[in-house]
Structure 1
Amino acid sequence: MIPLCFALGACGLMAPTPAPHGEVQGASTSGTELAQSDVNRIATLGMHDNLDSLYRLLDKLYRRNPAEWKKTATNRELAIKRVRDAIESRQPWPELQGKHDIQALSLALTPDFSGDRAAAFIYGAADMIIVAHGGKTKFYLIDSFDAQYLYNAARNMEIASWILNSRKNAAGQPLLLSNDISESEHNISFEREFGKIIARIDLLAEMTTEKYRRAGISYLQNLVGGTFLQFLPVR
């Protein structure tokens, strides 16, 4: 028995240590949260995460398609900053000819688009998502959401991802190199990032629908409770 314990102990010491996977990071608390409902707060965090996902996708696209950032900037980091600044300040992207929302996204994915396609694509996707959220990136008690618009935005992201992977230019080349599944490489990191964005928007759409349904149920519960769940006098 003792030798067995020593053997098990030795195996335990020799077992490889699991790789760290990090831990959940909560956002810092601010006074503005007092003006936010639970749904407002989740929508604000979701928007922040979705924009971060788009910036990661832009970085990935620039790394695989360096010719794109060279059309508008002297280095990749500066190109990303310019797109980010335009998105967060709600400024139009010059190469999109004043177009916004799905019109901007459609133009960025046309085969004959000659500008920085990666920048235009990410800008168009971000603008479409923001428009679906009522044109805002932070949300408070006075704000509300349209569940159908959010649902449509999630489907638009699915369509955009599919077009990016399948549409080709006049020379028969992909509009932008993204996912790569071949004998030498298996890279689906783009697909995973798109999936995160779609899931966050879908969840908010469901929560928006559930919010009004639960409000009605809570009203009925309070109504019934007020009538039948009162304590009875004992003296």
Structure 2
Amino acid sequence: MLRKTLFGWMAMLLLAGCTSDQQFRPENLAKRDLDFVTDTHIQQLDTLLKSLMKKLYLRNPRELSKTADATIESRIDLIFSLPPPLIFDELGGKESIDAMLLGLDPEYQGDRVFAVMVGLAGMLDQAYDNKEEFFILDTLDQQKLYNSARNLEVLAWRLKTRVDTNGTLLLLTNHLDPADPNLSFERLFGKMIALQDNLAMIVSQRNGRTINLILHGLATSFLAI
């Protein structure tokens, strides 16, 4: 058994050396398997968030026009080029859930897409304790990860239901025309929810701690992170 285990580890090391030479960093020696998994989840979330932000601007170009000389790329870079926490003067210092609520307030006159995305990205950052990379001494809270997944569900629902005084949606997302449906927003949210739920389960099993579950569909308000 020991001999097989040693051969297994040797094979893994050789495979890693053959495929990841250019990606190896000395810092990686201070990482566990869970840290690599967590880093991958964070990278995937960032990719999905950027795609969501771009789609929201394309569906709601009036929001982009509220900021002089702004482009979709410049607004995306403004969020994702900064380390957490994400705090901006144009949002009155509001972040995380408060920024999302601001963006979906019928009285708000600013860039709703920016407010929602600052809030969403900040809320997810908080689920990872505002860390952009994980190492052996870092820890994760399975409940925060689980709650963030429920908050994604709440946001997806609110985007489809929040309207102004004229009954017009504050932000357009899915296009439900039977002749030409577009459910790309649903798919993006579904992927992010699955990522957070998956990692919450992994961390729960690793920590030996249970998650306080909420029955599917019952979360209609944002949960604390």
TM-score band, normalised by shorter chain:
0.7 to 0.9
Other-structure match for 1:134:
129
8 A Cα contact 2:97 2:119, kept in partner = yes
CA distance in 2, matches of 1:108, 1:101: 11
More off after superposition, 142-151 vs 89-98: 89-98
Long gaps (5+) in structure 2 = 1-19, 210-225
Q: 1:29 to 1:183 in 2, by over 3 A?
A: same
Other-structure match for 1:165:
160
More off after superposition, 152-161 vs 47-56: 47-56
Other-structure match for 2:79:
83
CA distance in 2, matches of 1:117, 1:205: 29
CA drift at 1:31: 2.4
| TM-score, length-scaled by structure 1 | 0.74
Long gaps (5+) in structure 1 = 1-25, 215-235
More off after superposition, 116-125 vs 66-75: 66-75
- CA displacement 1:108-167 (0-9 Å, x = unmatched): 222222111111111100100111111112111111011111100100000001100111
Other-structure match for 2:219:
none
8 A Cα contact 1:181 1:188, kept in partner = yes
Q: 1:43 to 1:183 in 2, by over 3 A?
A: same
Structural mapping, 1:1-150, within 5 Å: 28-74=23-69, 75-86=71-82, 88=83, 90-150=85-145
Q: 1:171 to 1:84 in 2, by over 3 A?
A: farther
- Residue 215 (structure 2) pairs with residue 212 (structure 1): no
* Cα RMSD (Å): 1.9
8 A Cα contact 1:72 1:79, kept in partner = no
CA drift at 1:56: 0.5
**Partner SS for 2:23:** coil
Q: Runs (4+) of structure 1 moved beyond 6 Å?
A: none
8 A Cα contact 2:42 2:132, kept in partner = yes
- CA displacement 1:204-232 (0-9 Å, x = unmatched): 11011111339xxxxxxxxxxxxxxxxxx
Other-structure match for 1:186:
181
Identity %: 36
**Partner SS for 1:181:** coil
| TM-score, length-scaled by structure 2 | 0.78
- Residue 166 (structure 2) pairs with residue 198 (structure 1): no
8 A Cα contact 2:85 2:125, kept in partner = no
Equivalent residue pairs, number: 188
CA distance in 1, matches of 2:74, 2:189: 23
CA distance in 2, matches of 1:82, 1:70: 16
